[in-house]
């Protein structure tokens, strides 16, 4: 599927068929997810993929009882590591090995930069990890849809309860949930006309920013 088609036809889907997503398809999807860009390439994301009835039921209980959590083949908790230093050394070793940075001094300077990012209040680090991890969630949805696997992003969950239920260690932010599954042949969600979007001229501001009034949403026709 061309990206334009993937983007144009993706929908948030609540209904899923019983068809199982094979492990190799999930692997292919997550392989693409790892290509997501991140600040300093620090890749703060982790994914807790729930495929068993028991774990999905536990997730549903902390996700406002949303039915698609258990209807899905796989429910993914996108977690963001709030420690920018977590993978920094390994990442900068790779940069050095590939001559992306010239020497150890630059590597050390980069590590110092990242360390200063790690020494900010937790609230700021949570925002920091949410930026890159949210991009990973978007890649997950597009990579899935390219394989014919539908998805739904979800913010409707109790973060503290999720952390407790799944024993998530300190330092990880539950950023988003993403349900994954093949849509049934007659999935109303997929066949629905796209939900309206605010038009380009009301959301894009060249050179200077002045909030514009929202006058309408419309159905973009992006086919090529």
Q: Which residues bind ligand FMN (CB under 6 A)?
A: 11-12, 66, 152-156, 176, 195
Residue with Cβ nearer ligand FMN (148 or 156): 156
Residue with Cβ nearer ligand FMN (41 or 165): 165
Q: How far is the CB of 2 from ligand FMN (least distance, A)?
A: 18
Q: Is 179 helix (H, G, I), strand (E, B) or coil?
A: strand
**What does the alpha-carbon distance between residue 194 and residue 127 come to, in Å, rounded to a whole number?**
30
Long-range Cβ pairs for the range 215-224 (8 Å, 24+): 219/193, 219/194, 220/194, 222/4, 222/7, 222/8, 223/4, 223/5, 223/8, 224/4
Residue with Cβ nearer ligand FMN (33 or 152): 152
Q: How far is the CB of 10 from ligand FMN (least distance, A)?
A: 7
Q: The sheet that has 45-50: what strands, in order across it? A: 45-50, 74-81, 172-181, 150-154
Q: Which residue is nearest to ligand FMN (CB)?
A: 156
Residue with Cβ nearer ligand FMN (198 or 205): 198
Provide CB contacts within 8 A for 194, sequence distance 6+: 8, 11, 219, 220
Q: How far is the CB of 148 from ligand FMN (least distance, A)?
A: 16
**What does the alpha-carbon distance between residue 175 and residue 138 come to, in Å, rounded to a whole number?**
12
Q: How far is the CB of 194 from ligand FMN (least distance, A)?
A: 6
**What does the alpha-carbon distance between residue 59 and residue 22 come to, in Å, rounded to a whole number?**
22
At 173, give phi and psi (nearest 5°). -100, 120
Residue with Cβ nearer ligand FMN (118 or 138): 138
Q: How far is the CB of 19 from ligand FMN (least distance, A)?
A: 21
Q: How far is the CB of 214 from ligand FMN (least distance, A)?
A: 15
Residue with Cβ nearer ligand FMN (60 or 83): 60
Q: Is 195 helix (H, G, I), strand (E, B) or coil?
A: coil
Q: How far is the CB of 168 from ligand FMN (least distance, A)?
A: 19
Q: Can you say how many angstroms the Cα of residue 183 is from the centroid of all Cα atoms in its chain?
A: 20
């Amino acid at each position: 599927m061309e990206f334009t088609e993937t983007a144009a036809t993706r929908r948030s889907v609540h209904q899923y068929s019983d068809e199982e997503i094979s492990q190799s398809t999930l692997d292919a999807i997550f392989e693409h997810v790892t290509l997501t860009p991140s600040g300093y390439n620090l890749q703060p994301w982790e994914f807790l993929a729930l495929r068993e009835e028991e774990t999905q039921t536990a997730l549903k209980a902390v996700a406002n009882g949303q039915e698609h959590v258990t209807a899905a083949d796989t429910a993914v908790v996108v977690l963001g590591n709030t420690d920018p230093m977590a993978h920094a050394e390994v990442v900068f070793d790779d940069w050095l090995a590939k001559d992306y940075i010239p020497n150890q001094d630059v590597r050390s300077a980069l590590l110092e930069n990242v360390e200063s990012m790690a020494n900010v209040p937790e609230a700021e680090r949570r925002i920091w990890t949410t930026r890159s991890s949210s991009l990973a969630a978007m890649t997950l949805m597009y990579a899935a849809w390219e394989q014919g696997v539908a998805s739904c992003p979800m913010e409707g969950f109790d973060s503290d309860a999720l952390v407790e239920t799944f024993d998530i260690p300190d330092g990880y932010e539950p950023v988003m949930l993403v349900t994954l599954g093949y849509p049934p042949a007659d999935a109303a969600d997929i066949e629905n006309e796209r939900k309206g979007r605010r038009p380009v001229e009301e959301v894009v501001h060249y050179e200077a920013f002045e909030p514009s009034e929202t006058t309408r949403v419309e159905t973009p026709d992006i086919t090529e």
